[in-house]
Amino acid sequence: MGYRNLQECVKDLEAGGKLLRINHEVDAELEAGAIQRRVYQAGGPALLFTNVRGCRFPILGNLFGTLERTRYIFRDTLKDMERLVAMKVNPRAAVKDPLGFVGTLPAAIHLLPKKVSSGPVMEMQTTIDQLPQLKSWPDDGGAFITLPQVYSESAATPGLRHSNLGMYRVQLSGGKYRPNGEIGLHYQIHRGIGVHHAEALERRLPFRVNIFVGGAPSMTVAAVMPLPEGMPEISFAGLLGGHRLEMACRNGELPMAAEADFCITGIVDTDRALPEGPFGDHLGYYSLAHDFPVVRVEKVYHRRDAIWPFTTVGRPPQEDTSFGSFIHEITGPLIPTVIPGVRAVHAVDAAGVHPLLLALGSERYVPYAGEREPQELLTIANAILGQGQLSLAKYLFIGAQEDNPALDIHDIPAFLRHVLERVDWRRDLHFQTSTTIDTLDYSGSGLNSGSKVVIAAAGNKRRELPSILPGDFSLPSGFAAPRVCLPGILAIRGPRCTTGPNCPDPVVEDFCRQFGQSHPLISFPLVVIVDDSEFTARTLNNFLWVTFTKSNPASDTYGIGATDVSKHWGCTGPLIIDARTKEYHAPPLIPDPAIERKVDALGAPGGVLHGII
């Protein structure tokens, strides 16, 4: 069955040629992360660094660096997962084919954690400063745990059954933390640990957390799974891992994952918070320093043969892209069972996941009508935006499957083309103008604050989308270099933006007033104003990243022929999105050139990465 610990996994991957052991000395500050990112981009192996400067623990990177390797790691349990998902989607499937589901019930026993009195994780102790001090980007505020598994329990109903295991980043050094005595705990909105924290504060009880690092690979995946309420992540880890997860339970302490490599125990300080960050994050920018909870460290346990797994995050795709793809393979078929009418949902990784969500739904409210228009789609969109982490979506494009049953939601150009051919900007824009957005998204009005828009399109094609520019295309002063990104989508370089959050830019408003109905720009339903139109249009990923990470729907959406009827905003001409960099945005992630040259040398003939990068 599946791996019980990280050591079994490393041994098997190395024997199969899927892991490279690097004995060359590597610095945990910037160098290890740069190597991991480069090997990931090359589709290379997992990396075991055995000689980390100033640290006695080996570190493991790129473990989940390819979807194929991730599937391989969980090859023994994927069939059981597929059968259980099929039973949830269609319970009659097991009745029709009982032999095909005969292995499902024995696998279900793995959902139950197994209580034990001790485990390898409790063999030895150390201090925070002796752990690998990994720093991924030049302006990171210190060393971070990048693959933590933070375990907490409900103060109202304590126990394994009401536990939460989440991947909330942990800052080990820097800032104002007391060395070896305090660490930072950053968790975003809409995370399970927040409920537990609130319960502990309400009852004036100590809020204890255990932070695991390593252990069975299924623990790492479970910590990022968007599971429904009531299903603890440690149960899912057992199911995916193919064995009951052993939890070491002692009186007066939170349970510890017995096979974890490390466990930091501590109590969240209820009296204060400290600045955590900056940290290079998965939108491709730094998340800045903000006050977040502080953990008072009690003990740091580790097993004798401990390995420290890590990753680096940055502008996607990165290693966490494989997480997302793997999770979608497992959970994708379940989405229609959770939200009626939904056919498929795609959180677009290249846009930073939460900024852009695509969805296919049904439009069945008035099947007798002569022409479809968004009605049921709007009900479905509201349900999507009220569902778990999907609620963090900033742009939600939704189309009706009836208009094109063969449409593949993962074919992003085709999906956008389908919507833009049908959308009516006077009717089909639906804003939430002052609401919560992703904690890591700095395009809004403040931390956790911004807006959302639903773009719903249904019915027959309304227009043909242009793919080329006419030779006589002209633009107002200050705007230049028009580039076609996709059919119907035009990027234009604009002047530097100087306005603040929630402030309309008079320069863009004036731009929208300059076009008559005969101008060729009018034939493009979507126009994006950017800092660098050539870069934006160069690749699909560039367009997605620039457009949806650098704009806040309510304040950065303009239109030619704008209308405001009964508080419903729309436009008769093209929709204009201002995706320029604003002065209040977080800075982008830029690698250290000296470190990149060191990595280049490792890939040269004779280097340990020659033939890989």
Q: Interhelix angle for 78-89 vs 233-241, to 10°?
A: 120
Section 407-420 average pLDDT: 97
Burial of 494 (0-12, 13-18, 19+ CB in 10 A): buried
- For residue 308, give Cα distances in angstroms to 147, 240, 576: 9, 21, 47
Among 230-234, 275-279, 381-385, 566-570, the minimum mean pLDDT is found in: 230-234
β-sheet bridge partners, residue 484: 490
Query: ω into residue 317 within 30 of 0, thus cis?
Result: yes
Residue 433's nearest CA partner among 512, 501, 489 is: 501
Residues 452 and 396: beta-carbon distance below 8 Å? yes
Q: Is 109 exposed, middle or buried (0-12, 13-18, 19+ CB in 10 A)?
A: exposed
Structure confidence at residue 604 (pLDDT): 96
Is the whole model's pTM more than 0.85, yes or no?
yes
* DSSP secondary structure letter of residue 589: P
Q: How far apart are CA 535 and CA 148, in angstroms?
A: 35
98 pLDDT more than 50: no
- Model confidence at 448, pLDDT cuts 50, 70, 90, reads confident
Q: What is the DSSP string of 499-547?
A: --TT---HHHHHHHTT--TTSGGGG-SEEEEES-HHHHHH-HHHHHHHH
Burial of 351 (0-12, 13-18, 19+ CB in 10 A): buried
Quick: pLDDT tens for 545-555: 999 999 999 99
- The confidence score (pLDDT) of residue 260 equals 98
Range 319-457 classified under CATH 3.40.190.10: no
pLDDT at 267: 96
Structure tokens at 470: 């006419």
Closest C-alpha among 477, 412, 372, 442 to residue 587: 442
Q: Is 449 left (phi over 0), alpha (psi -120 to 50) or beta?
A: beta
pLDDT at 570: 96
Q: Say which CATH architecture domain 6-73+112-310 belongs to.
A: Roll (2.30)
Residue 247 scores a pLDDT above 90: yes
Alpha-carbon separation of residue 359 from 52, 116, 415, 574 (angstroms): 45, 44, 9, 22
> Are the folds of 6-73+112-310 and 319-457 the same?
no
Distance separating alpha carbons of residues 118 and 259, to the nearest angstrom: 10
Other CB atoms within 10 A of residue 67 CB: 15
Rounded mean pLDDT of 393-418? 96
Domain boundaries, the chain: 6-73+112-310, 319-457
Residue 439 pLDDT: 86
Q: Per mean pLDDT, which range of 155-164, 225-234, 521-530, 560-569 is the poorest?
A: 225-234
- Reply yes or no on whether the pLDDT at 112 is more than 80: yes
